[in-house]
């Protein structure tokens, strides 16, 4: 029996589509043996890998609201009054951390139900850091595997988009969003022993209407363009790339979370014939 791994890309609120795809895969008897995720994709990978069901993840979607964006007003005002513009990030990230910690019972990565890898970047060394639930080989020379870390810290680190979220300090390390290095961690799944890999990519460089751009829309567009070009080199390592079209949804369009979930579900159903063709010998009901 060959092991199937699923890589979940970052993409802000569009990553709710991952939940819809996972739901469709489950309904058609496709067993997932390992997951890897970056940024918002790391959040979905962590919660599903820890043991939350698709229904529980669906119920969790309303938590993807603006309330998660906790502006550090105190630090912002204090620094501005001093003429100091060195604030490392607009949002603290504590609410995101608390949300994930609550859903995972403050568990460690080593307590995952499924093998899971979450990607972040070490701000000091520039290395790719893979927070893994199990011991695994490093997929490339400039990466490092860390297994002893709380799930909530790993997710927060992987989601810490530069300039928006404060970098995450843990021990003597400083981490930022893994999307700057690997936004769809296919290689991590191969290193974990996955023999068939499905990549779900939620980033596109397709043109959007920027007639009246705001700071967030410009950042959203800039990030999307960079990640879309990066991901071309990564998804070539996957057996199948699924790309639900969510071009009209920005990374921070929180009111479209359920729309993205449904979009991912319907897309996966349309592609199920191709998915099964790729994975036909691997459709099993055996437990992990």
72 included as an active-site residue: no
Residue 44 to residues 30, 81, 114, 177, 280, Cα–Cα distance (Å): 18, 39, 13, 15, 25
Single out the residue of 182, 282, 244 nearest to residue 13, CA to CA: 244
**Nearby residues of 176 by Cβ (< 8 Å), 6 or more positions away:** 120, 121, 123, 157, 160, 161, 162, 167, 168
177 included as an active-site residue: yes
Identified catalytic residue from 160, 177, 187, 204 = 177
Report how far residue 219's alpha carbon sits from residue 14's, in angstroms, rounded to the nearest whole number: 15
Specify burial of residue 155 (Cβ count, 10 A radius: 0-12, 13-18, 19+): buried
Q: Both tokens of residue 94? A: 């504590």
Identified catalytic residue from 9, 15, 39, 143 = 39
Q: Both tokens of residue 163? A: 């300039």
Report how far residue 38's alpha carbon sits from residue 11's, in angstroms, rounded to the nearest whole number: 9
Strands 168-170 and 173-177: antiparallel
- Residues designated catalytic: 39, 177
């Amino acid at each position: 029996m060959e092991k199937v791994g699923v890589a979940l890309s970052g993409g802000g609120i569009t990553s709710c589509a991952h939940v819809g795809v996972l739901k469709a895969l489950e309904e058609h008897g496709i067993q997932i043996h390992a997951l890897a995720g970056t940024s918002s994709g790391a959040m979905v990978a962590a919660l599903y890998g820890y043991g939350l069901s698709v229904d529980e993840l669906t119920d969790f979607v309303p938590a993807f609201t603006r309330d998660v964006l906790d502006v550090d007003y105190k630090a912002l005002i204090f620094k501005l009054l001093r003429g100091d513009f060195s604030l490392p990030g607009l949002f603290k990230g504590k609410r995101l951390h608390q949300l994930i910690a609550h859903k995972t019972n403050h568990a460690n990565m080593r307590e995952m139900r499924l093998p899971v890898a979450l990607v972040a970047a070490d701000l000091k060394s520039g290395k790719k850091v893979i927070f893994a639930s199990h011991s695994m080989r490093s997929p490339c020379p400039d990466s490092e595997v860390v297994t002893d870390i709380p799930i909530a810290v790993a997710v927060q680190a992987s989601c810490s988009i530069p300039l928006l979220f404060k970098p995450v300090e843990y021990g003597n390390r400083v981490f930022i969003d893994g999307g700057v290095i690997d936004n769809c961690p296919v290689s991590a799944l191969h290193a974990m022993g996955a023999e068939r890999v499905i990549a779900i990519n939620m980033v596109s460089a397709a043109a959007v209407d920027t007639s009246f751009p705001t700071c967030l829309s410009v950042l959203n567009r800039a990030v999307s363009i960079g990640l879309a070009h990066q991901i071309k080199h990564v998804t070539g390592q996957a057996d199948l790339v699924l790309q639900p079209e969510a071009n009209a949804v920005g990374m921070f369009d929180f009111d479209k979370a359920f729309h993205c979930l449904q979009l991912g579900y319907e897309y996966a159903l349309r592609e199920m014939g191709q998915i099964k063709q790729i994975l036909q010998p691997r459709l099993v009901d055996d437990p992990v």
